[in-house]
Structure 1
């Protein structure tokens, strides 16, 4: 058995080609079980492998899925950008009504906690921009470089669907358009058909990312994580471009 590490919500080990995940907190158990319902329905619709978990134990909650091949790519190329663009087109085309019937819903942002715990210049302006953002698409919800796998110059999978929800398609474009290498970002944008409106909303979601890091650092008592999150909040707020 090989220990794979832990995220904010779960720990993972590898045993006999299976990844076993356990919740780090009791409230995460239902989230893991929900993945065992939504992912078997979603996976056949997608052009890249994704985890398809099953319940191994109900008490305590343990789920398992076959290991998705690949590692975090050392370089993100234009070809990979096109692959991820095709992946997101397929994901965002999934029928929302069916996803809702399977238990997927919208995500409520902790705006009041943001306001109370992340006090930085320009923060209130960003929070004001959250109002009215669409919630009409099935989204991954936490798409970043650590969740995109590749090997031999191509993408081989996308992992970690714990935050899948009905939300704004732009949240899945936030990292790729604002932090990834230009050749990767440009290829993804062309393949996906990114509009000016999507690009503008992707900036909002990109700026909001470190706010969650601050709250998580506060929740677990990790002052270093909170400091890193605050530095990220301040840095990303400098990228805001006013609407014209």
Structure 2
């Protein structure tokens, strides 16, 4: 959660009024922004009195997708928590969102701090033995949650072929015309190769977090002590829980992670991860266009063009 989102001038009074309607004891605590993602904005709430107790996190959906995510988390996380080896958010309550659609959630902060990718590398955490073991155990435990029960709790099914097919149509219309011909060929080839490869969709659907990134793995010292942001949770391809880590940590870390999990690192897995890295940047461009976020669109387009140029120069333009 690192995309800056401007809060309305009266955000604090709105939030305090919403808190007072549910938990008046929290309505006078200290509030400060924590960060923002594409779907939600997070605030930290310290209880009144400054007694040093556990702070709370408040997450406010920015759009309908964010509202649906929080509703899904509210149903799933109480049961999922008992299946996982580390703490995850446990909602104290949800209430009508004073800053947007749906409901906002409030939960005691999960132990640890959220670190950006650069800090993980600076501290050498990817080379420490504990974090990679924790990540392996977390992924396996999430995937082991009963899929049928996840469906009963309202977790949505993810159809990557349909989703990326829709994205390809939008990219053809809105992004490809603005790219140099060489970059557009690489982009189209990657999507078409992935969508046309039946092996990419030959998997047993399981519960996935769908957003395991370094900033969502909370750190204390040199260990991972919690996992947050389950708003994108779905039933889908288990390999997708590696996609953001692939981009942030690199192939060597993912190979070690798979070895710990007892899961082979195959050429097919690598092709999917390389495609998802590209597709994530492309879908961020589309998100920026759809929601009028010009700065975010431009940053995402620069990242996308960098990936396309890298693949064009590698001689493997259709690495999906």
TM above 0.5, one fold?
Answer: yes
Confirm whether residue 156 of structure 1 aligns to residue 225 of structure 2.
Answer: yes
Higher RCO (C-alpha 8 Å, min separation 6): 1
Matches of 2:97 and 2:41, distance apart in 1: 16
Contact 2:93–2:107 under 8 Å retained in 1: no
SS of the equivalent of 1:142 reads coil
Aligned residue runs from structure 1 range 34-113, under 5 A: 34-58=72-96, 60=98, 61-73=103-115, 74-75=119-120, 76-78=125-127, 79=129, 80-107=131-158, 109=163, 110-111=166-167, 112-113=169-170
Aligned residues: 244
Q: TM-score, normalised by structure 1?
A: 0.88
Deviation at 1:181, TM superposition (A): 5.4
Q: Which moved more, 1:83-92 or 1:218-227?
A: 218-227
Q: How does 1:231-242 map to 2 (within 5 A)?
A: 231-237=302-308, 238-239=310-311
Distance change >3 Å, CA 97–CA 183, structure 1 → 2: same
**In the TM superposition, what is the alpha-carbon distance from 1:31 to its structure 2 partner?**
2.3
Q: Select which of 235, 240, 249 maps to 1:166.
A: 235
- The residue that corresponds to 2:185 in the other structure is 121
For residues 28 and 181 of structure 1, the distance between their equivalents in structure 2, rounded to whole angstroms, comes to 29
Task: Say if 1:210 and 1:230, in contact at 8 Å, map to a contact too.
Answer: yes
Cα gap change, 1:56/1:181 in structure 2, threshold over 3 Å: closer, same or farther? same
Which one has the largest radius of gyration? 2
1:125-140 alignment, distance < 5 Å: 125-128=189-192, 129-130=194-195, 132=198, 133-134=200-201, 136-140=205-209
* Residue segments in structure 2 that go unaligned for 5+ positions in a row: 1-30, 48-54, 177-183
Match of 1:195 among 265, 268, 286: 265
TM-score by length of 2: 0.69
- Which is richer in helix? 2
